[in-house]
Chains A and B, each alone.
Chain A
């Protein structure tokens, strides 16, 4: 942990001198801003009734997905949980089709059959959006087995929440991945709560999770998931380790969701003070502040990004709104692949 932090700081100071990295920094910011605006638009359209079902927003956690996913290649797989919009957008899934999926439209990523919790883009090796807590662990393990078996050089990144660590599949999968030395990076998004259950009420073993990976002989680290550069740096190290050693790595990201678990959450289980405290670390405030103060980019650069992204989101909502409903014949499509 300490070393990761330090490397990040070194990097930060070096950055002021490296002009080349302006684009990289602005890209990171743009992606985080895209996710934030996407989520705000989702919330709005949920209230309007355009999006139904369960809707879990990623607001506050943007740095985790953006920093980590920026380290992956095209041949790497991503598997995640139902709070999946951030990962999907960071992986570059089409914004219009993502929004259309949430609207349940035929032009959605899954033709409107999956919804918010089940985003897929197999072409981008984005293998879901999984809404059974802990259900995604075995799937990720199997994808990693395929990478190993076919020697593709690819790895799997499996995102999961603190709540899912109390499922049997979590422990089973860490064990199996270690025994079989599978190329998989486990990324815990520790936002301290699983719905309304704070980790100190449902977890034995303290507030740190990464130490537990030792039990399974998996190298592990912890990183400030609110800091996109730290996240990126830590993930880079982790990904390199997985690629070189072949075996798994475990990265715990300390993060926080600023909003309720879903749009149906009144947040009775926590105090506004805690949220306020964490909002001070908001990556959408801290990171652009740092970009400006370090002289990496100018205010106008950021404004340009804001304009572009806001237009993207507006277009996406338009696209989703004007897209067609799935045909009723779709009901029976995609159950079986023809043999």
Chain B
């Protein structure tokens, strides 16, 4: 299959689900007549009709919760949020309702629902539209939480997310909707909770997810030009976390750098490296390095936003300084 962009890969996954399962429907603001804030659902209203492509009022708490109710009665709703920052308006429904219903009912109810939302900074939307709320939601038992970094993973993860019998947070890096990549022609799925090794190497493991992977790829190129061989891991799933794949890599490279494009303080990598430290300390030949965005509200100004966002150059310098003294 020719290269497609991330937006098309997600659209493909949604379309396929709508075609194959009459219980799938999409709820969200301006997903129908308008075609979606990021044009992911463009054309769906015409193709699938207003019963399945449901434009909602601007009431996040209510349409997220409506999805939960519909899911607990046997439908498979997909919720689109215009921004994951807006999930905060419906946070109670996601955290207290969707995640807890099964447990509180002693397993009587399940909630097969996907919440899709653009996430992250880097597109100059300032503090209210640039949060990476997937890192907050990744802590919640009862939810799954994934974030793809390329079209192939987006399609593969979306397929398993929609098929899952549990609520899944599907975070789509806002920066990457136009990112191109190959997507296999044959049907495939990517299991939730599986990280991927996107490049093998022997000197250091570079770990990130979502938009962070672009930064990591740039980092690897610079390191490679300095004859440092980096292995790249894409976490892909923030809950559950694939410690097996990360651990295996560390046994090989004995060094780890973990990157969040969310704020470093509270970023998911804090959790990841603390567990790695506990379980793989004997295999580490130096301190784990964590890099993240600056601990500030996201500024609008391009230069300021850039200064808060992690860069490959800085990462390389940190690695050279702290780890591999050349």
Segment touching A, from B29-37, B58-66, B228-236 = B58-66
User: Of B62, B92, B107, which contacts A132 at CB under 8 A?
Assistant: B92
| B39 within 8 Å of A (CB atoms) | no
Contact A337 B104 (CB under 8 A): no
Whole-angstrom distance between the alpha carbons of A337 and B76 in the complex? 14
Closest to B77 in A: A142
Q: Inside 8 A of A112's CB, which chain B residues have their CB?
A: 106
Query: Is the interface on chain A under 10, 10 to 19, 20 to 34, or 35 or more residues?
Result: 35 or more
| B108 within 8 Å of A (CB atoms) | yes
Whole-angstrom distance between the alpha carbons of A120 and B96 in the complex? 15
User: Of A127, A144, A176, which contacts B59 at CB under 8 A?
Assistant: A176
| A309 within 8 Å of B (CB atoms) | no
Closest to B167 in A: A336
Contact A172 B62 (CB under 8 A): yes
Whole-angstrom distance between the alpha carbons of A235 and B45 in the complex? 37
User: Of A122, A132, A146, which contacts B105 at CB under 8 A?
Assistant: A122
Top 5 A-B pairs, shortest CB-CB distance: A142-B69, A138-B65, A146-B73, A110-B106, A334-B107
| B71 within 8 Å of A (CB atoms) | yes
Question: Interface residues, chain A, CB within 8 Å of chain B?
Answer: 77, 79, 108-114, 118, 120-123, 127-130, 132, 135, 137-147, 149-150, 168-169, 172-173, 175-176, 179-180, 333-339
Q: Inside 8 A of B75's CB, which chain A residues have their CB?
A: 145-146, 149-150
| B321 within 8 Å of A (CB atoms) | no
Knowing A135-B65, A172-B62, A339-B166, say if A143 contacts B106 (CB, 8 Å).
no
Knowing A114-B105, A335-B102, say if A135 contacts B92 (CB, 8 Å).
yes
Whole-angstrom distance between the alpha carbons of A90 and B237 in the complex? 44
Knowing A135-B93, A142-B67, A149-B25, say if A118 contacts B62 (CB, 8 Å).
no
Closest to A110 in B: B106
Q: In angstroms, how far is the closest chain A Cβ from the Cβ of B245?
A: 19
Contact A127 B102 (CB under 8 A): no
Contact A140 B69 (CB under 8 A): yes
List 16 interface pairs A-B (beta carbons < 8 Å), by A numbering: A108-B106, A114-B106, A118-B105, A120-B104, A122-B108, A138-B63, A138-B68, A138-B69, A138-B97, A144-B69, A146-B73, A334-B102, A334-B106, A335-B103, A337-B165, A338-B165
Whole-angstrom distance between the alpha carbons of A145 and B56 in the complex? 12
Knowing A168-B61, A169-B61, A175-B57, say if A142 contacts B92 (CB, 8 Å).
no
